[in-house]
Amino acid sequence: MTRFVNYYNARSSDKICSLFPPPKNEEENCFWNSLKPDEEKSIYDEFGAIKKYEYLGVDTTDPEKVIVFKVLFANKGVKALSFNTKDQKFKNFRFDTSSDLIEKMLKQR
């Protein structure tokens, strides 16, 4: 998560994508590489820098393994950000994620 935060705050989409290599035999593109420059800028402008983050746990209600963090964005306040994992590697992430369990995790912290 530390590398993601550093790359995100530096607006380094190529380095973010290096955290999410496509699985062998799959042509899955990194979200950041699919964005046009103005779309990428819009995301950063909307959410702002990540000021603080805290590990919350794993959302066991999702069919995939979803690791959840409580994140304080400069412009959006507190959000739950999650990473899906597969074979011990980050698969993708969700900027603003939610489930009943995630909402409960956020309220407990």
The span from the CA of 77 to the CA of 51, in Å, is: 9
Helix (H) or strand (E) holding 58: strand 50-59
CA 32 to chain CA centroid, nearest Å: 11
Question: Tokens 């979803």 belong to which residue?
Answer: 66
- Write the pLDDT tens digit of every residue in 3-25: 989 998 998 888 888 887 766 65
The span from the CA of 6 to the CA of 64, in Å, is: 26
The span from the CA of 85 to the CA of 92, in Å, is: 7
Is the pTM here over 0.85, yes or no?
Answer: no
Domain 2-108 fold = Nuclear Transport Factor 2; Chain: A, (3.10.450)
- Write the pLDDT tens digit of every residue in 28-68: 667 666 777 787 778 888 889 999 999 998 888 888 788 89
Q: Report pLDDT for 108.
A: 84
